[in-house]
Structure 1
């Protein structure tokens, strides 16, 4: 796993997280876009995940933090290319426009896929929180795919 963090004054504060997973892009896509699978690895409260994976489609879930706090999340899918790319808008209270995160999948073999998450934020604090959350997502996804591979 590698992590790259960049800061650009004109474009805000950005991060890029990259991880190579032992799964096909189709398997990762399925885990990311199927509500019951997403709920298992994305730290979501049971029964709170709704995913309408198409451009303009909405999504929502309630994330459970390690201390048990419930954080409702909502947004829309801006771009969707099956098994390859998602651009996800995330509604942020107090922010006029949605925050945007991209997820890209690049297959390097039948069971070797690079997943890349990118986001540009308005402040260093927002970037650090978003990067931490994205890292938690990648950790959960990695564990979920590993458990599935053993079954």
Structure 2
């Protein structure tokens, strides 16, 4: 049985807009980098369709970088996205990260689920913290998109 950990937040935007924020390179570069990290848009490959490739480079404040890769497995706008994601390109990316967007009163409930895999409790906690930082920045992107 797969053991997922979950992060859920309600965003005050329509789910079409939330889906756009997580699948469009110019918005993705902002929130995936968060305020602390740079993801240059020219490093992004986002072929958002089943079987499409994902690539990104994260430039860390300490001068190091993380190369990300993955594949979009399920793309059902604006309700669901499943993509593999690894910072060890060339290795098996494992089970996909799942993004579910549900219309709720006042906006969209975004649920992100990831297989725990062989993560320690500390790694799970750090990943949840990272997803929450992503969602904080998705909220800022949405505010910009809505007030454009």
- TM normalised by structure 2 equals 0.81
Task: State which of 27, 41, 47 in structure 1 corresponds to 2:31.
Answer: 41
Answer 1 or 2: which has greater strand percent: 1
- What is the Cα-based RMSD across aligned positions, in Å? 2.2
**SS of residue matched to 1:139:** helix
Runs of at least 5 residues in structure 2 that lack an aligned partner in the other structure: 34-38
In structure 1, the residue matched to 2:22 is 32
Q: Could you tell me how far apart the structure 2 residues matched to 1:86 and 1:26 are?
A: 12
Partner of 2:139: 142
Q: Is 1:21 the equivalent of 2:18?
A: no
Q: Note closer, same or farther for the CA distance 1:60–1:87 as it changes in structure 2 (3 Å cut).
A: same
In the alignment, what sits opposite 1:6?
none
Query: 1:130 corresponds to which residue?
Result: 127
User: Stretches of 4+ moved more than 6 A in 1?
Assistant: none
Within 2, Cα distance between the matches of 1:139 and 1:38? Answer: 13
Of 121-130 and 83-92, deviating more is 121-130
The answer for unaligned runs of 5 or more in structure 1 is: 1-9
Find the aligned partners of 1:78 and 1:57 in 2 and give their Cα distance. Answer: 8
Match of 1:50 in 2: 45
Match of 2:112 among 113, 117, 120: 117
Partner residue of 1:101 out of 79, 94, 97:
97
**Aligned partner of 2:64 among 40, 57, 69:** 69
- Tell me what 2:73 maps to: 78
Conserved? CA contact 1:41–1:140, under 8 Å: yes
Count residues in correspondence: 140
**Cα shift at 1:34:** 1.1
Is the Cα–Cα contact under 8 Å of residues 105 and 115 in structure 1 kept in the other structure? Answer: yes
